[in-house]
Amino acid sequence: MTKTLEAYRKKALRDPAVKAEYERLGPEFRIARAIIDARKTARLTQADLATRMGTTQSAIARMESGRQMPSTKTLMKVAEATGTELLVGFG
Task: State the chain's mean pLDDT as an integer.
Answer: 93
Confidence of residue 2 (pLDDT cuts 50, 70, 90): low
**Is-contact 78 38, C-beta < 8 A?**
yes
pTM higher than the cut 0.85? no
**Is-contact 41 12, C-beta < 8 A?**
no
Q: How many degrees, rounded to 5, is the angle at CA 87 between CA 23 and CA 21?
A: 10
Domains and CATH numbers, the chain: 5-81 (1.10.260.40)
Helix pair angle (72-82, 26-41), 10° resolution: 20
Q: HSE of 3 in the Cβ direction (CA atoms, 13 Å)? A: 8
User: What average pLDDT does range 42-62 have in this prediction?
Assistant: 98
